Structure 1
Amino acid sequence: MADITDSGTDAAKSQPRKSSWRYIGPGIVVAATGVGAGDLVATLIAGSKFGYTLLWAAVIGCIVKISLAEAAGRWHLATGRTLFEGWRSLGQWTTVYFAIYVVIWGFVYGATAMSSSALPMVALFPDGPGLKTWAVLFGLLGLLFVWFNRYLVFEKFMTVVIGMKFLIVVYVAIRVAPDLGAAFAGLAPVLPDGSLLYTLGLIGGVGGTITMAAYGYWVNAKGWTNTSWMKVMRIDNRVAYITTGVFVVAMLIIGAELLHSSQIALTSGDRGLIDLGVVLEERFGVVTAKLFLIGFFATSFGALVGVWHGVSLMFADFVERFQRERRTGEAVGERTVDEVASGARERSVPFRAYLLWLTFPPIGLLFLDQPFGLVVVYGVLGAFFMPFLALTLLWLLNSSRTPAEWRNGIVSNVMLAAGGLLFVILCVQQVRDLPW
C-alpha cells in the first residue's frame, strides 16, 4: 500500500481564505440531508414522553456531530485524499465492508426515502394518486435532478429546502407556545426512568449517518481542496449543526407542548408525522397543519436528493479507486480530491450507475413487503456505520497519514472517542432490537 502522508505539503503552505458567509454551502447541504423524517419522529417521541427533560441530550448530539463532520472535512482538506482513500489505506477489510454496505443500504434506503416523500403528499391530496405512485414519481424526480445538474445547482436547491424546513418547523414550535422556563431547565443533564435509549438516540441518531461521510465530498465539490479553506470549512460545519440543533430543539418543543401535556402517542416511523398533522389541525387549524405537511415533504425530499447526490459521489470514488488500484497494483499516489472538485465524478459512469441503483430496484420494494433477511442485513450494516466512521477517523487523524499540524488535538480526540463509544452502544442496541 503506497504511503499517503506527504499529500498535504503544498496545501499546508496555502494562505487561509478570509471567512465569509457567502462561502457557506456544504454545511447547508448536510443539514438538509441529514435530518430526515425518521429523525423528526424520534425527537417528537422523546419530547412527548419526557417533555423538555432531554433537551440537553439534543445539544450534546449536535456538538458530537460537529466534531465528526469537522474531522471528515479536515481529512479531505489536509491530505488531498478522499475519505474512501483514507479507509483503503487502513486495509482491504474497509473495502469489503463499504462495498456490501453501500449496495444493500442503497437498495433499502431508496424505497424508504421515496415512501417518506410520498406520505405528506397523500395527506395533502387525499383524492390524488396513491402512495406508490407518488413514491415512484419522487424517486424519478430525484434521479433526473441529480443526473442533469452539477453541485452548485444542487446546493442552491438544498438551500431552498433548508429554508422551508427551518421556517416551518420554527413557526410551529412558536405556535405551540413553548414554556421557556422548562426549556432552560431541560439543559441540565437529567436521566428520567426509562429514558436511557431515548437519550442515546437523541445524541447519536439525529443529524445524519452516511451523509456525514459525504460532507468531505461536498466540501471538495464546492471547490475547497486544500488547507486554505480549513477555517471556512469549520464555520460552514458549525452552521450546519447549529441549524440541525434548531430543528431538533423545535421538534422537541412541539413534542413536549403538543403531545406530552395531552398524553398523545404517535405512530412509530414516518407515519407519526401524519398523526402530528392531524393534531395540529385540531388544535391550530388547517393552515398550520398544511404548512407542517409541506415542511414534512421538504424534509423527506431534501434527504432523498441529498443522498442521491452525496452517496453517489462516494460510490463513484469507491469504484474508480478500486479499478485504478487493480490496474496499478498499489494505492493511488496523486491527490484525489481534485477529481471531485472538477465535477468529473458527477459525470462518471459509476456515479450515474449508483443513481439508477438508488431509484429503480427499490421501486420493486414499494410493491412488495421487504424481504425479512434483507431487513436484518440492512439493520446490521446500518448500525455499524457510525462506529465505523467515528473510529476510522480517529485512527486516520492520529496517524502519519495526516500532516502533523492537522492531526487531532485533545478536544477532537475526546469528542471522536466519546462519539465512537456512543455509536458502539447504539449499534449493540439496534442489533438486539432487530426482528431476528
Structure 2
Amino acid sequence: MLKNIFKNIGPGPLIAAAFIGPGTVTVCTLAGANFGYALLWAMVLSIIATVVLQGMSARLGLISQKGLSEIIRDEIKTPFIKIFAITLILSAIVIGNAAYEAGNITGGVLGLETLITNPTFQLGNFSIKGFNVLIGFLAITLLYIGNYKVLEKVLVSMVILMSLAFIITVFIIKPDIYSILKGMFIPSIPSQSLLTIMALIGTTVVPYNLFLHASLVKEKWQNPNDLKLVNKDTFIAVVLGGIVSMCIIISATFITTENVTNASDLAIGLEPLFGSFAKYFLAIGLFAAGITSAITAPLAAAYVACGCLGWKAHLKNKQFKMVWMFIIIMGVLFSSLGIKPITVIQFAQIANGMLLPLIAGFLIWVVNKKTILGEFKNNLFQNIFAFIILGISILLSLVTLNNVLKLNIF
C-alpha cells in the first residue's frame, strides 16, 4: 500500500517543501504572534495563487517536456530581451538561492538546537558549527545519489513529518474554530500589518518554484494523459502546504513570550503553556522545513542554470552537480561561519522582486500558445485567475523593491 502511495505522488510535495522553509515559518510565526488569526485570509489567497501558477508551470512541463528556463531561452527571439531575461533569472535564482541557502540550513539547525546543543569545532581562527555541516552533508549526499525516486521519497517523507509536527501542535493547543474560520474568510488589515500580509504572500508564491515544478514534472511524467494526476498532485500538495503554514500561524497566536523575532521563538514560547511535548513536535517541524528547503533550493538553481545556459538538466550531469554543490557549500559556509551576505541577499531580493511578475506574465503568455500546448492551452476561466494573480505579483514586487530600496512608497 505504501508503495502505491509513493507511486502516485509527484513533485507537488517537493514544491510544498520548497515554500515551507525557515522564512515561511518565521513570517507565519510573526503573523500569528502579532496579529492572531486576522491574517489567515492572506494565506488562503496565497494558496489559491500558488495553485494557479504552479498548475500552469506543471502543465507546461508535462506537455512540452521542457523546463521553464529552456522554454524562455527558446521562445524569446529578440536577443536583447533574451539576454536581459536570462541574466535576471540567473541572478535571482542562482545567486539568490546561494544567499538564501544559509537561511535554509540555519532553519534546520534551529530545530535541532531547540533540543540539543550545537557542537562547535575550531579550525584555526574559524569556528565551524557541527549541525550546519551535518545538514549540508545530508543535502549533498541525497543530491549526489542522482536518483529522482530516492530524492522524491526522502523529501515526501520529510514533508509528511513536517506536516504532522505542525498539525499535531495545533491539536494540542485546541484553538477556537470559529475565530479561525473568521480569519480565513473575512479579510481584515490590522494596523501595521500590510508588510506582513505581503510577506505571507511573497514567501508562498515563490519564483524559483515555477522553474522547479516544470522540470520535476517532466522527470516524473511524460504522457499528456497524466495531466489529471499532475493537477491532483499539485492541488493536494499546495493546499496541504498552506494548511501547514496556517497551523504555524495558529500555533503562534498562543505564544506567551514577548519580542518574538524568529521561528525558534515559536517552540520556546509555547513551552510554558504545553510543556516540552509541543516543543518536540515544533523542533521536528523546523528541522524538516530547513532540510527540505536546503535540498530544493540548490536543485531549482541547477535546473535554472542548465536551462538558461543550454546544459543538459539531469541529476547525473556534471554541470548540474556543480551548480547545486556550489549553492550548498556557500550556504554551509555562510551559516556556519556566521557570515551575513547582506549585499548579496539585498541584490537577490531586488532580482526576485523584478522576476516574479515577469515570469508570471511570461508563463501566462506561453500557456496560451497553441504551438506549445495545443489543446492544453489556458481557457478563459484559467486566464481570469491568472491575470488577477499577475496583478498581485506586480503589487508584491513593488512592496519588495520598496522595502529593499527604502523608497517609502507604502
Name the TM tier (shorter chain): 0.7 to 0.9
Within a 5 Å distance, the mapping from 1:69-218 to structure 2 comes to: 69-88=54-73, 89-91=75-77, 92=82, 93-126=84-117, 128-129=119-120, 132-186=129-183, 187-206=185-204, 208-218=206-216
- Structure 1 residues 281 and 193, CA gap change in structure 2 (3 angstroms): closer
Distance 2:192 2:236 in 1: 33
Distance 2:6 2:319 in 1: 33
Q: Which residue of 2 aligns with 1:63?
A: 48
1:254 aligned to 2:251? yes
Within a 5 Å distance, the mapping from 1:22-421 to structure 2 comes to: 22-88=7-73, 89-91=75-77, 92=82, 93-126=84-117, 128-129=119-120, 132-186=129-183, 187-206=185-204, 208-222=206-220, 224-256=221-253, 258-259=254-255, 262=256, 264-267=258-261, 272-320=262-310, 345-366=314-335, 367=337, 369-421=339-391
- Structure 1 residues 201 and 103, CA gap change in structure 2 (3 angstroms): closer
Paired-residue identity, %: 21
SS of corresponding position for 1:103:
helix
Q: TM-score, normalised by structure 2?
A: 0.87
Distance 2:129 2:353 in 1: 27
Report if aligned partners of 1:117, 1:300 keep a CA contact under 8 Å in 2.
yes
SS of corresponding position for 1:124:
coil
SS of corresponding position for 2:355:
helix
- Structure 1 residues 166 and 403, CA gap change in structure 2 (3 angstroms): closer
Report if aligned partners of 2:57, 2:214 keep a CA contact under 8 Å in 1.
yes
SS of corresponding position for 2:396:
helix
Q: TM-score, normalised by structure 1?
A: 0.83
Amino acid at match of 2:356: M
**Number of residues of Structure 1 aligned to a counterpart in Structure 2:** 389
Distance 1:144 1:266 in 2: 35
Gaps of 5+ in 2: 122-127
- Structure 1 residues 188 and 127, CA gap change in structure 2 (3 angstroms): closer
Report if aligned partners of 2:99, 2:330 keep a CA contact under 8 Å in 1.
no
- Structure 1 residues 353 and 263, CA gap change in structure 2 (3 angstroms): closer
- Listed one character per residue, the Cα deviations across residues 382-418 of structure 1 (whole Å, up to 9, x for unaligned) are 2223223211101111234433422212232222222
- Structure 1 residues 368 and 82, CA gap change in structure 2 (3 angstroms): same
Pairwise CA RMSD? 2.4
Select between 38-47 and 62-71 the one with higher mean Cα deviation: 38-47
Amino acid at match of 2:199: G
